[in-house]
Structure 1
Amino acid sequence: MTTSGRWQNDVLRELSAPAQQSEVDAGRSPLPVRRTEEQRPHPGQPNPLSPPPPPTASQEEPAGPPATGSVPARRPARRPQGPVTTPDSVPTLDPRLALALGAPQHGDSVVRRTGRSLRKLASSAAREVSEETRLAGLLQQPVTTGRVIAVTSIRGGVGKTTTAALLARTLNHYRHDPVLALDADSALGTLPVRLGAESVRWACADLAQILTPSMQLTDVTGYLVPVTDGGWLLPASQGRLTAPLDMPTYRTVTLALRRYFAVTVVDCESLPGEVARTAMDTAHARVVVAPQTAEGINGTRTVLDWLAQLPHAALASTVVALTTNSNDPSLELKTAMAHLRETGVTVVHVPYDRHLSGGGPIRTDRLGEATRRAAAELAAEAMQRAVRVR
């Protein structure tokens, strides 16, 4: 991969387009956008702002246009028959439940926070600074096209959505380009709640009907939910019992939005759902969330064996997030990690955190230090694998 900033410069140029248009409307000549030789597309190079390619079963970018006479028939994009109706804004939590949440707990106890402060005073922090610098370098790697990281698990309730929210928040904290969290779970996905969204309006199915290649970043973000700590969110639904997200809608939305966002973190449904299998097959990197239980580790091992059989080396771009969801796990940590590492994957342990176990919105300042470090390591491992894919 190149280190060119062409992709980011084009996004910034899109953001400046409304200001230039306002100058034209006012009768003034806008300043021309000057492009250096490095930024100007060369013959034979794809334009980062060109319309996205049609959906394919592979996550790799097309090498180039097909020969004349061999262009396959392309299905026209789905468009609404009549005017698009703006959906109503719906709260993510019942107001009575939101009031009952109370103050969020801190991930670390007072004793642990005090002991950590004393250890920092008594020892050198050079090693910690070096590790944080290494992780920041991996998380801030430049990309020329949007990368997709899919998060899934063998069943619900193991921390899949929590892990996806941690990844989105961590990537947004370290990166300076747009990051999107996409909820591709069933009709009752909880990613908006975990990211602190008070209400949702537009969902994946709504946006799939109105996305066009001519839309700019500022147009697209008008349909998304801004996240409190930065970044953007696209929910799968408005939280009602409606039809679950289907595969054509998922493909349409992800392929189109990759033009605008450096990284998209997808909170998939649990395997073996159709959308989850499609997301895992087409993503640039995969995160499989495994609970620290005997049945959880055994089922996750089955998923890893399936990924190893995919034709494009999916296992090499997979990371396992091993979550401890209680103070007294039923399986020894070393045994669980060793069993998963036999497949050759990297395993990152996400420890038990009182703040995460309480549910509700995730506040970064309330996370335990070990949880923040694990989230950064997990995001760095996933980002490193996503960048490797051409």
Structure 2
Amino acid sequence: MTHKDRDEPRPDPESTTIDPPTVSPRRTPAPTRPQPLPTPPQPQPNQQQPPTQQSPPNQGPAQPGPPPPPATTTDFNAGRPAPRPPAPPPTAAEPGVDPEKLVLQDVHGDSRLRRVGRAAVRPFRPADEMQRIAEHGRWIQHPVTTGRRIAVIGVRGGTGKSTVAALVASVFARYRQDRVLALDVDPERGSLPLRLGLRGQYTLTDLARAELATASFDQVEPYLAHPLERLWALPGTRGPIGGAALSADTYRSTGIPLTRFFGVTITDSGAGIRTELHRAVLRAAHAQVLVATATPEGAASVGHALDWMAANGLQALHPRTIVVFTAHSPTMAQGLDVKRASEVLTEVGAGVVRMGYDRHMAVGAALDPSRLAQATHVTAVTIAAEALRRSVS
């Protein structure tokens, strides 16, 4: 809604307006080129012909000599802004191992037996389940007057934060009709580019150096990766871990203005919540997805994170928070009472979703939507719908 978007920088309209082509009234057609003389003209090797519009007004008729320059053409770029500078080429990737080449076998998220069984019972699915899925679909397609920023946060590393961010971004791109952005702002080289299958792309720091905060989408698009239809992506950094230049100022000056071109932006930040960059991401977010492992320790870390937010002026995010408990093994979620955790978190206004174990996601390579388990699809749709609903409520 418009009243919640006061923190979004407004682009300067004068910097993006393109005037129609105009013809300068001072320009006059050049005289017709004279016929060449029977005898060759005298060579004048170092003479430079002056511009037509600067010729003296009383200049006499053309004398034998080199042919005059061709007629001046109309400048149809008059009144237009200067053309954008070419995007800087990506720096050469440092030597390393391509993760995709280490995958022995890319398995499906569901076993073959489960897939066959699901196909057999599909006609008999309960009506309330189908209605719930349809309701989620309507919320995912909900129109927005200004772009929504959804932050994906992990209290600790290894929670599956980037995987959840990639899944949710892909769901929005599949069901929405406007643009969707997956923005990686992890200064320590997060896994979002890997999960989306990006290679050798530009970064947010490249875009910041180009100073295109008020440029048009056509000027910005060359810097963005386009992994799926209606989905654009931009990694945060490139290079060795610890050598990144991404900062809170870069996110505020370049990352936030970039989101104005997109209906929904999924921002994947680094592990933790206490850095200045995390605070900038959270303050600019309309909703957040807080990812933790499905263990008692993971649930406790979520409670500590929400307490920290309340103590640092971010308590307004509590009712706009979705907590996702992820399972990294088939038996991990058995140690956590998700129902009890949901009751506790609901008291502060947060919602809870459990994402079960998926064999395809466990491989740790680029995600293939066609190989995800059916339960993973449903969970990703649920997270996306609930996050967008809370972002506009």
State which of 311, 326, 329 in structure 2 corresponds to 1:326. 329
CA distance in 2, matches of 1:83, 1:354: 42
The aligned runs of 1:32-181 (5 Å cut-off) are: 85-88=88-91, 90=93, 94-95=97-98, 97-121=99-123, 123-124=124-125, 126-181=127-182
Distance 1:83 1:333, change over 3 A: closer
Q: Which residue in 2 is equivalent to 1:201? A: 201
Distance 1:332 1:316, change over 3 A: closer
Question: Is 1:346–2:348 an aligned residue pair?
Answer: no
Q: Give a deviation string over 1:324-371, Cα, whole Å, max 9, x none.
A: 121122333334433433433110111111111111001111111111
Distance 1:214 1:158, change over 3 A: closer
Question: Is 1:267–2:272 an aligned residue pair?
Answer: no
Two-structure CA RMSD over aligned residues (Å): 2.8
User: What SS is found at the alignment partner of 2:271?
Assistant: coil
Shift of 1:212: 3.0
Identical aligned residues as a percent:
36
| Structure 1 residue runs of 4 or more that deviate by more than 6 Å after TM superposition | none
Q: Give a deviation string over 1:240-289, Cα, whole Å, max 9, x none.
A: 23225211001112221122111110001122232112211221111110
For structure 1, the residue ranges without an aligned partner over 5 or more in a row are 3-16, 30-81
Distance 1:353 1:111, change over 3 A: same
Q: Give a deviation string over 1:54-89, Cα, whole Å, max 9, x none.
A: xxxxxxxxxxxxxxxxxxxxxxxxxxxx99743336
State which of 316, 320, 326 in structure 1 corresponds to 2:319. 316
Distance 1:91 1:353, change over 3 A: farther
Q: Is the 8 A contact 1:196 1:228 kept in 2?
A: no
User: What SS is found at the alignment partner of 1:314?
Assistant: helix
Q: Which residue in 1 is equivalent to 2:234? A: 234
For structure 2, the residue ranges without an aligned partner over 5 or more in a row are 3-16, 22-72, 77-84
CA distance in 2, matches of 1:92, 1:182: 25
CA distance in 2, matches of 1:306, 1:154: 11
Shift of 1:182: 0.6
Q: Which residue in 2 is equivalent to 1:188? A: 189
Question: Is 1:297–2:302 an aligned residue pair?
Answer: no
Q: Which residue in 2 is equivalent to 1:69? A: none
Deviates more, 1:108-117 or 1:204-213: 204-213
Q: Give a deviation string over 1:267-315, Cα, whole Å, max 9, x none.
A: 0112223211221122111111011112111111111223344366221
Question: Is 1:384–2:389 an aligned residue pair?
Answer: yes
CA distance in 1, matches of 2:228, 2:279: 30
Task: Choose 1 or 2 for highest CA Rg.
Answer: 2
Shift of 1:103: 3.8
User: What SS is found at the alignment partner of 1:222?
Assistant: helix
Q: Is the 8 A contact 1:106 1:355 kept in 2?
A: yes
Deviates more, 1:328-337 or 1:346-355: 328-337
Distance 1:83 1:265, change over 3 A: closer
CA distance in 2, matches of 1:224, 1:387: 26
User: What SS is found at the alignment partner of 2:329?
Assistant: coil
CA distance in 2, matches of 1:377, 1:247: 30
State which of 359, 365, 379 in structure 2 corresponds to 1:374. 379
Q: Which residue in 2 is equivalent to 1:252? A: 253
Q: Which residue in 2 is equivalent to 1:216? A: 216
Between the two proteins, the alignment pairs up a number of residues equal to 313
Question: Is 1:337–2:338 an aligned residue pair?
Answer: no
Q: Give a deviation string over 1:14-63, Cα, whole Å, max 9, x none.
A: xxx99x98xxxx99x9xxxxxxxxxxxxxxxxxxxxxxxxxxxxxxxxxx
Q: Is the 8 A contact 2:238 2:244 kept in 1?
A: no
Distance 1:372 1:93, change over 3 A: farther
Distance 1:88 1:244, change over 3 A: closer
User: What SS is found at the alignment partner of 1:238?
Assistant: coil
CA distance in 1, matches of 2:338, 2:96: 35
Q: Is the 8 A contact 1:178 1:261 kept in 2?
A: yes
CA distance in 2, matches of 1:270, 1:337: 23
Q: Which residue in 1 is equivalent to 2:35? A: none
Deviates more, 1:236-245 or 1:304-313: 304-313
